[in-house]
Amino acid sequence: MGKYQFFSIKVEDGVALVTMSRPPVNALSAGLLQELGGVLDEVEGDPEARVLVLVAGEDIRTKSRKMFCGGADISEFGSAWSSGEAREFIGRGQRLLTRIEKFPKVTIAALNGSAFGGGTELAMCFHLRVLAEEAELGQPEVKLGIIPGYGGTQRLPRLMGRTPALYHMLTGDPIPAAEALKHGLVNFVVPLDEVLPKAMELAKRLAQGPPVAQRMVLEAVREGLDRPLDEGLEVELEKMAAVTKTEDTIEGAMAFMQKRPPKFKGK
């Protein structure tokens, strides 16, 4: 595994556990985001890693709360703004987060703490999310006179609905864990000390599944969801036709008939 300043990677049982640690709040600096791109390269290229889980290090916290990610590094804004590079600065962050959203392996955000601004935007790019019941999410950028810039205005309404998303982006009010679960912004809400165990349990289960079929599910949903239904069905048909040509399809059928657990190879 590569050496990183802000990340560590441990691969076991098909799961790449990625720990992010930039005290005190995992602010998304340019350096951290660049390293995250390297982490994605490494996990994507590792055949032993079928699922990626991202969690915050235990040293990530404020005096009052455990954090997952406090958002973009505001200290870097000034130089980018004054030099007229704001568009490119923000664009780099958007492109990286979009890459996470399009990652070909299943990704899970183990939100073992609160996430605000860019932290919520980062979490929303993961396919599945487990949130601590003590934590909050939110897009408070309006309180700084700006708007979410790493995809929040587009992903938050798509995930939790237009009306509640607009309320939280216009007021900057945080989203409590119970509300995040109610609106489908996260998959599970559990006590803080159960976040990583729950995420790993889910990840190990998914790591036993068929990688090609999982990738096709991710692609079909991403490519078809915002299209008219008839176009979405064409996307599904294309993905289904492709997956039927894999060895895993034969293995799945044989295992079903033989009443045994399948052994998927990702081929």
Contact of 119 with 126, CB cutoff 8 Å: no
Torsion sign (Cα): 154, 77, 23, 54: positive
- 154/177 Cα distance (integer angstroms): 20
Instruction: From 223, 131, 224, 210, select the one nearest 178 (Cα to Cα).
Output: 131
Alpha helices (H) along the chain = 30-45, 77-82, 86-101, 118-124, 152-160, 162-171, 177-182, 195-207, 211-224, 229-243, 247-257
The residue annotated as part of the active site, out of 35, 42, 136, 141, is: 141
Burial of 87 (0-12, 13-18, 19+ CB in 10 A): exposed
Tokens of 182: 């109610």
Instruction: From 105, 104, 107, select the one nearest 122 (Cα to Cα).
Output: 107
Instruction: From 66, 72, 93, 110, select the one nearest 199 (Cα to Cα).
Output: 110
Distances in Å between the alpha carbon of 132 and those of 77, 144, 155, 184?
30, 26, 21, 15
Whether residue 140 is preceded by a cis peptide bond, meaning omega within 30 degrees of 0, is no
Residue 121 falls in the annotated catalytic set: yes
The residue annotated as part of the active site, out of 35, 42, 121, 136, is: 121
Using only the alpha carbons of the chain, give its radius of gyration: 19
Length of the chain as a residue count: 267
Residue 136 falls in the annotated catalytic set: no
Positions marked catalytic:
121, 141
